Structure 1
Amino acid sequence: MNKKIVIIGLGITGISCVNFFLKKGLIPSIIDENFNLNFIKKIPSYVPIHLGSLNKEWILNANLIILSPGISIFHPLLLKAKKKGIEIIGDIELFSRYNKIPVIAITGTNGKSTVVNMLSQIMKKNNFNISIGGNIGYPVLDLLSIKRDFYILEISSFQLETIKKFNVYIALILNISQDHMDRYPLGIKQYRDFKLKIYNNASFCIYNIENKLCYPKFFHKEKKYITFGKVNGQYKLFFDKNMIYLKINNKKILNFSKTKLIGIHNYLNFLAVLAITDILKIPRKISLKKINNYKNMDHILQIIHKENGITWINDSKSTNINSTIVALKYLYKKKKIWLLLGGYDKNCELHLLKQYLKNKNNIIIYCFGISSKKILSLFTKSIRVKTMCEAIKKIIKLVKYGDTVLLSPACSSIDQFKNFKHRGKEFIQLVKKIYQK
């Protein structure tokens, strides 16, 4: 096999691709637009590397291009390569061509990590031997050397851009709303089209029936379709006075109000999880028992401190408008909310947040980061600061008993932080320092 293989992007995914080919006796060439890369130390000296730009000659003379998720397929040079007939795939597609183990693939704008976490806990409790990978956990190619009953993969739209025949046993789309609009020149329709590719080679397709963007474009006789939703679908919620139940076939089987789950969005997440565990024939008593004690993951509506009647909540995982609206809906009864917004907005329509906040006088906005100017233009009464730290220092002087301080930025963290986890940890540390004085 004398293929000219080019790997573009030398992050964790890129390294896994390099190792994959080297094990097969193939030497790929590596391109990365950055210069300062810690990963170079992990690459053997005989592997060709080009840094600082996309190498036009290498790309246009390749037989196969492996693209890391962070690199857009709409780059002019890649479009030229595609037009020339050069195959461009990502690690997910490469993995699928060699994988023999059933895959449960989960995507959606919000809730992916939570659902993967819920599902993995229930499957482990039922003695399934599983591994988690994709957008969370291991790079998928590293999973090929680990024999399991199932792989659970969290899949982003970026990863779905380059799939062709990604074989999946169960495919789930939780929801679709605006995100990564900077990546998709044709807007949400294009974003949705990539998300829907997860259904292409799936045996079971599970989707949110109340989010029309999640609907498969075509329904095939050989596939099985399962739906969930707030008030519609095979798996749905039932509202009775102040109680919310899980209802299947008109039978109430769980009182969500007595679980540790926070928010209706998490109840919907569990409906999707139960649809999967039912396919796997896991006894419902195991799923229900596990979910009764399930706690939110870090950085998702995480209560980090309570003192003097003031509650501090870290929702740093909210990197888009819809997830911030979910957080505010959960806290709607609170006396006063000091909302920290900002970061890189990914060209999403922040004005959609304005529609939700209309006439809500109990919410005070502090904005920071690249998007702060745009936020200030939408919310003229908001307070613009340079950093999250500056916002916290100002807020601490004004908060009163019964107030809530919420970090739910509606934006990506990449302008001032490494990622949402880094932003959340910084928030926690800043709050701890204040109360330790």
Structure 2
Amino acid sequence: MVSYQGKNIVIVGLGITGLSCVNYFLAQNIIPKVIDTRLKPQGLEQLDNRINYHLGDLKIDWLLNADLIIVSPGIPLSTPELQKAKEKGVEIIGDIELFCREVNAKSNKKIVAITGANGKTTVTTLIGEIIKSAGISVGVGGNIGQPALSLLNQDYDVYVLELSSFQLETTYSLKATVATILNISEDHMDRYPLGLMQYVEAKHRIYHNATYCVINNDDQLTIPTDKQSDIVSFGVDKGNYHLDNHYEHLIVQDQPLLATKMMKLTGCHNYLNALAALAIADKLNISRQSSIATIASFHGLPHRFELVLEKNGVKWINDSKATNVGSTEAALNSVVCKGKLYLLLGGDGKSADFSLLIPYLKNRNIEVFCFGRDRYLLSKLAPNITTITETMAESMQIIAKKVVSNDVVLLSPACASLDQFKSYVERGKQFAYLAEQYTQGSGI
């Protein structure tokens, strides 16, 4: 274990990640201080009674007198109090950096690091299942599930981490066996005032010191600027791993490996996720046969292009995890609809450029419903085919009276959910519930 004895350590931000940091230091008999700008942060009731904490703002004297600050991913490094501490020479890192330092001290451990604007949770979960099915002990966490530091409580052979750009900003020692950026599109532009390339720069930190980089051949922004690592590519019709002309097979080195009709996952974007996972598995030297069997049986994840109801010929698809424009683009590329497509957009757009969706709304049988905070901004994309409501429930009530056989209702909001919901999960659950409620006895 890396020693931090004698260090004055301040953890900024509680929640499950902050608590994992507290427990990490307590295991070394180090008592850190905790700061949270919220008055009632999640996890406060679980805090060890030896911990001195401050709530409501960033206690500047604690920060300036610290030897090491562990900052929550949700707090920008540009925060003035953190900048003052940095100028004084205080080291500021995140929980992923603590994790990497520990794993680097164990030479026989492997890390798979996954990021991207879209698909990263699906690929992280899928590659975890592939490794597990191969009989290798694997810990999956980071930006999903368990905090990375909690994974150190068991002796895994491989760690699979989903990493956000926020986490990568404060990570310096990552040495992934395989690292991938699945795709890049505008997201969190409210966090990156200098624009898209500032976001790209944060994402590219995942490649630093990686043995293999898995890139998206269709997205130039995923290609590393330095060529020190071995590069493997996937894409729709080009790359080491790709699809055939009709999306009927996963192809590796020009050899068809798996018919997409044999997969539980559907849609081009999910086929690309499968290709990325297969590329990662190959670089981990996992049996190809084992990988393909797991990919074929993988059902996908809730709230990711999930068919939650099919009734009287109408499909209701929950893609609530589409919290940015790129994810909604992927959904609109993949949806198959013989009738009319009813698209639900809405929420907090995080200063994104919604105009990228305009080409996907043209020349197709579609009606758009906009709700939530940015509903008026979204409605400008296609005003002649758009209905505006305050809530998603109001939109769905209208849609339920209009749909007929062969229609598809797609919730793919292109926005965060926190303006009206606790999370995208709650939004997706409400969509599924309302789909069932509004169609009961309606004759549709």
Q: TM-score range by the shorter chain?
A: over 0.9
Cα displacement (A) at 1:18:
0.9
SS in 2 for 1:378: coil
Instruction: Give the structure-1-normalised TM-score.
Output: 0.95
Give 1:145's aligned residue: 153
Q: Does 1:35 align with 2:43?
A: no
SS at match of 1:168: coil
Pairs within 5 Å for 1:216-231: 216-220=224-228, 223-231=229-237
Q: CA deviation at 1:61?
A: 2.0
The residue that corresponds to 1:427 in the other structure is 431
Q: Which amino acid counterpart does residue 28 of structure 1 have in structure 2?
A: P
Match of 1:15 in 2: 19
1:383 is paired with a residue of what secondary structure?
strand
Q: Does 1:215 align with 2:218?
A: no
Partner SS, residue 383 of structure 2:
coil
**Structure-2 change in CA distance of 1:164 and 1:77 (3 Å):** same
- The match for 1:160 among 160, 168, 177 is 168
**1:130 partnered with 2:134:** no
Coordinate RMSD, CA, aligned: 1.5
1:236 to 2:239 alignment:
no
> 1:273-312 to 2 correspondence within 5 Å?
273-312=277-316
Mapping 1:15-414, distance limit 5 Å: 15-99=19-103, 100=106, 101-220=109-228, 223-239=229-245, 242=246, 244-360=248-364, 362-381=365-384, 382-414=386-418
Deviation for aligned residue 1:106:
0.8
Structure 2 Cα separation of the partners of residues 127 and 310 of structure 1: 41
**Whole-angstrom CA distance in 1 between matches of 2:113 and 2:350:** 25
Write the distance in 2 (CA, Å) between the matches of 1:377 and 1:253.
Answer: 44
Using the alignment, how far apart are the partners of 2:63 and 2:111 within structure 1? 31
Letter of the structure 2 residue corresponding to residue 130 of structure 1: V
Q: For the Cα contact (< 8 Å) 1:13–1:91, is it kept in 2?
A: yes
Does the 8 A contact of 2:357 with 2:381 survive in 1? no
Unmatched tracts of structure 2, length 5 or more: none
In the alignment, the residues of structure 2 paired with residue 17 and residue 109 of structure 1 have an alpha-carbon distance, to the nearest angstrom, of: 26
Report the TM-score when normalising by structure 2. Answer: 0.94
Cα distance, 1:38–1:249 mapped onto 2, change above 3 Å:
closer
Separation in 2, partners of 1:366, 1:279: 44
- Give the number of aligned pairs: 432
Q: Is the Cα contact below 8 Å between 1:32 and 1:53 reproduced in 2?
A: yes
- Structure 1 stretches of 4+ with a deviation exceeding 3 A read none
1:142 CA displacement: 0.9
Deviation at 1:333, TM superposition (A): 3.8
Question: Would you say the 8 A contact 1:243–1:257 is kept in 2?
Answer: no
SS of 1:339's equivalent in the other structure is: strand
